[in-house]
Structure 1
Amino acid sequence: MSISSVRAHLAAAAPDLEIHETEARTATVAEAAAVHGVAPGQIAKTLSLRVGERVVLVVARGDVRLDNRKARAAFAAKPRMLDAAEVVALTGHPVGGVCPFGLLTPLPVYCDVSLRAFEAVWPAAGSVNSALCIAPARLAALAGAEWVDVCQPPAAEAA
């Protein structure tokens, strides 16, 4: 599934968006930022979380961490990261390639307000060497996401 399901989703919903496939791995924020020539914050990482009985995806800028207190308040339960097997089984995407598009299982998607700091962000596109460039508002709209504030400020802003 993975990149092919993302391609199919985008072909139907946003045919103007281009998936950028690279020879190099882009599975981590640092790898993706280096390959795409952007700041780590512009990488839109997708976190796969279990909150109570639900599984949700949270898309946030690459240089922030989930704030457990904020997430607990927003989702009314303590969040915990899914393991790699659960991620693949529910999203159809490998860890490092997870994005809110072309999901194997329909899941609630949330975009952290941290993404709004950028005109464009780079989420993965279903594989560990693919991404696309998109405005945060459009990413949220295409994913049917709700905006939340569940992350700590970037380290530079917190200091």
Structure 2
Amino acid sequence: MTGLSPSAQRVQDLLDAIGLGHRVVEHQGSTRTSEEAAAAVGCSVAQIAKSLIFRARETGRPVLVVASGANRVDEKAVGRLIGERIERADPDFVREATGFAIGGVSPIGHAVPPLVLIDEDLMRLEVIWAAAGTPNAVFRLTPADLASMTGGRVATLRKA
């Protein structure tokens, strides 16, 4: 596939290496928010797998939380699951840790391998969509694909 921006092409190359036939799609408009992404691809907001980067407070390690676009993340639960408190990552940390800008963070291909947690609510869906390296690129996958690609731990992450 040609014509993808460099960051989206990097994600496509990783997907090609995995070999399951996933295709990155770049849209004219933004897919930066879950609502924008759902409107662009014609799915529910719950089907958007948003990649959120946090910083583990003691170790400084990146923590990737892949959550349903319909959910808010319970940051205290994330901290309990990884054994240390987390804090929101600033844009520079996100870029350094992932190689992507906020709004386009893919669940795969990070510069620094993160700890990965996956929202159990995503696992109940047949199809989900994830960011693919830019604020207007996404790719379609199954929750099982997400778990195998990232090695993520599935857990209850939704804020009550």
TM-score w.r.t. the length of structure 1 is 0.89
Using the TM superposition, give the Cα deviation of residue 104 of structure 1 relative to its aligned residue in structure 2, in angstroms. Answer: 1.9
Using the TM superposition, give the Cα deviation of residue 151 of structure 1 relative to its aligned residue in structure 2, in angstroms. Answer: 2.0
Match of 1:36 among 35, 41, 66: 41
| 130-139 or 7-16, which deviates more | 7-16
Using the TM superposition, give the Cα deviation of residue 67 of structure 1 relative to its aligned residue in structure 2, in angstroms. Answer: 1.0
The aligned residue for residue 132 of structure 2 is: 125
Q: After TM superposition, where is structure 1 displaced by more than 6 Å over at least 4 residues in a row?
A: none
Q: Which amino acid is the alignment partner of residue 86 of structure 1?
A: F
The aligned residue for residue 3 of structure 2 is: none
Instruction: Give 1:7-156 correspondences, 5 Å limit.
Output: 7-52=12-57, 53=59, 54-152=61-159
- For the residue of structure 2 that corresponds to 1:32, the secondary structure is helix
Q: Which amino acid is the alignment partner of residue 108 of structure 2?
A: F
Structure 2, unpaired ranges of 5+ = 1-5
Shift in CA distance, 131/142, structure 1 to aligned 2, threshold 3 Å: same
Count of matched residue pairs: 153
Identity, % of aligned positions: 33
TM-score w.r.t. the length of structure 2 is 0.89
Please give the per-residue CA displacement for 1:99-121, whole angstroms capped at 9, x wherever unaligned.
Answer: 12122222222211121121111
- Which structure has more RCO (C-alpha within 8 Å, separation ≥ 6)? 1
C-alpha distance in structure 2 between counterparts of 1:127 and 1:92, whole Å: 11
Contact 1:2 1:102 in 2 (8 A): no
C-alpha distance in structure 1 between counterparts of 2:19 and 2:95, whole Å: 24
The aligned residue for residue 9 of structure 2 is: 4
Shift in CA distance, 45/69, structure 1 to aligned 2, threshold 3 Å: same
Q: Which amino acid is the alignment partner of residue 143 of structure 2?
A: P
C-alpha distance in structure 1 between counterparts of 2:11 and 2:95, whole Å: 14
| 144-153 or 63-72, which deviates more | 144-153
Structure 1, unpaired ranges of 5+ = 154-159
Query: RMSD of the TM alignment (CA)?
Result: 1.4
Contact 1:5 1:103 in 2 (8 A): no
